[in-house]
Amino acid sequence: NQGKNLDENSKDQQLEQFRVDNEEKKMTTNQGLKVSNDEDSLKAGVRGPTIMEDFHFREKMTHFDHERIPERVVHARGFAAHGEFELYESMKEYTKAGFLQDPNKKTPVFVRFSTVVGSLGSMDTARDVRGFATKFYTDEGNYDLVGNNIPVFFIQDAIKFPDLIHAVKPEPHNEMPQAASAHDTFWDFVANNQEIAHMIMWHMSDRAIPRSFRMMEGFGVHAFRFVNDKGKSRFVKFHWKPVLGVHSLVWDEAQIIAGKDPDFQRRDLWESIEIGDYPEYELGVQMLEPEDEFKFDFDILDATKLWPEEIVPVKKIGKMTLNRNVDNVFAETEQVAFHPGNVVPGIDFTNDPLLQGRLFSYLDTQLIRLGGPNFAEIPINRPVCPIHNNQRNGFSRQTINVGKVSYHKNSLANNSPSTSTAREGGFVHYEEKVEGRITRARSKSFDDHFSQARLFWNSMSPPERQHIIDAFSFEVGKVKSKSVRQQVVDMFVRVDKAMATTVADNIGVNRPKGEQVNVTLSSPALSQANTIKMPQ
Ligand code: HEM
């Protein structure tokens, strides 16, 4: 693909060279030898034993025996589609990202939706967070926006992620329950890691049982940075807004569908694309000037907090259309490797301690999941722009690097980067000033775990509140440990006393004694809203 003209079909053109169909092709071995018989193994006599010499049998069976790769450690069950992204207006003022400059330019994308907890064969309609991961194949390299359908997260620091997932996944002694939060370790984790409160309110709400991938929002969750060509940076949060609006199932529907059609959501996505009813999502950004970083009563780097849209409006900057199903689920959906660290010039990271840890985890897991260091050469993962570096060798290397130089600096190949990579359009990390003592301490600004949980509850309509109470009662009601059930209602009294009391009555524990945290829309941060200058 190197050197080809790049247009909106360029990813498709690139994939074309790897597509092979089976029709009317005569069967051969992997060595190209014509196969004479694919039904009978080679035997010593028609009723005798199979003999070692049967290389065709051995090759066929060995390949079959090795068909499985590990499923993702989280987000194992997913479904994906191709599409394109179009910008509404140039974002040049805010970011130098090439794909956000020209409204006439279309950028190919690949999107994978997923559940988090269940294994590859679990049901689509589980109560769970949904992944919403987008790979933009830009002319400057792949940019991955690896988001979820809920704007906040369970924990604040990446070091707790293995604990979260160990608690959330099926319990190790009996591998139950599959794809459900109705079990002891999940709720024990909740009660003992209370920064989770806000996320759990979303998790118990209808947002965790979306009707369709086409009717889900997506959120980058973390604060990222936009950096423009003058080097000015602003904080940014990314949003996907489905053009069809946000719609959910109700719990009874979700359970019935799980039995009748466990593929409900992948079927819905597949069929809507097959009939040309293409799913569409608008990309929105919330931007904050650096001088407004400390004007909120929460920390804008805390991934358990959202930036209220009334104060920091979402500016819609473009639209993504999913218009082509995959040719092969394994080759594309399973082998795609998203990574929040895949950025392009103009988009950069912040010190959110959850994001910082993610930057390590994805590449690390993909090295084992996709069989070694060459998975960027798998067709779905290849950028559409030229790649060149000094990497070589490793399992399943595809590229045939020609010549003898694979090191910098050199005089033989004349390809060393100049000392100023910035002048060449190379990625230069934002020069954020950092200072402090090395410590494992957590910033006090991350300490408030209940205000936004309560704002969420306050924003719900009566039927939505009833659904949340029903979900708590169903999920926590299945917890065997009475102590854990009690701890949960004692915790959620801090969100709403009436809610926690009703749940306590429903699940057979004592009514909680504590008090709710009374935060309302007149909280200090919100009253400062008129001093916050919005990027226009
Ligand atoms: C997948 C780690 C937080 C969204 C994964 C995978 C790992 C992982 C190891 C499997 C990747 C693969 O096998 O290719 C982590 C860690 C986190 C974290 C350590 C926090 C410290 C988040 C957050 C979001 C998110 C906050 C959303 C904003 C996703 C999505 C996928 C995923 C959408 C599936 C990507 C796909 O479809 O292939 N994560 N994750 N994760 N994660 Fe995270």
Encode pLDDT of 450-501 as tens digits.
999 999 999 999 999 999 999 999 999 999 999 999 999 999 999 999 999 9
Residue with CA at minimum distance from ligand 1 atom 32: 75
Question: Does the pLDDT at position 509 exceed 80?
Answer: yes
Q: What's the CA gap between 150 and 145, in Å, rounded?
A: 14
**Tell me, what's the pLDDT at 281?**
99
Confidence band of 180 (pLDDT split at 50, 70, 90): confident
Residues 212, 327 contacting (CB under 8 angstroms)? no
| Ligand 1 pocket check for 161: Cβ under 6 Å | yes
pLDDT tens profile 350-367: 999 999 999 999 999 999
Angle between helices 462-477 and 251-260 (to 10 degrees): 60
pLDDT tens profile 147-157: 999 999 999 99
Task: Tell me the whole-structure pTM to 2 decimals.
Answer: 0.95
Question: Does the pLDDT at position 390 exceed 60?
Answer: yes
**Tell me, what's the pLDDT at 417?**
67
**Tell me, what's the pLDDT at 415?**
78
**Tell me, what's the pLDDT at 7?**
62
Rounded mean pLDDT of the chain? 94
Question: Does the pLDDT at position 527 exceed 90?
Answer: no
Q: What's the CA gap between 488 and 194, in Å, rounded?
A: 10
Question: Does the pLDDT at position 91 exceed 70?
Answer: yes
| Ligand 1 pocket check for 264: Cβ under 6 Å | no
pLDDT tens profile 420-436: 444 577 899 999 999 99
**Tell me, what's the pLDDT at 1?**
40
**Tell me, what's the pLDDT at 519?**
62
Residue with CA at minimum distance from ligand 1 atom 25: 147
Mean pLDDT, rounded, for 226-249? 98
| Ligand 1 pocket check for 375: Cβ under 6 Å | no
Mean pLDDT, rounded, for 135-153? 98
More confident residue, 29 or 518: 29
φ/ψ of 429, rounded to 5, equals -65, 140
Say whether 339 is catalytic: no
Residues 109, 240 contacting (CB under 8 angstroms)? no
Question: Does the pLDDT at position 123 exceed 50?
Answer: yes
Residues 2, 10 contacting (CB under 8 angstroms)? no
| Ligand 1 pocket check for 72: Cβ under 6 Å | yes
**Tell me, what's the pLDDT at 8?**
58
Q: What's the complex ipTM?
A: 0.96
Residues 373, 381 contacting (CB under 8 angstroms)? no
Residue with CA at minimum distance from ligand 1 atom 20: 158
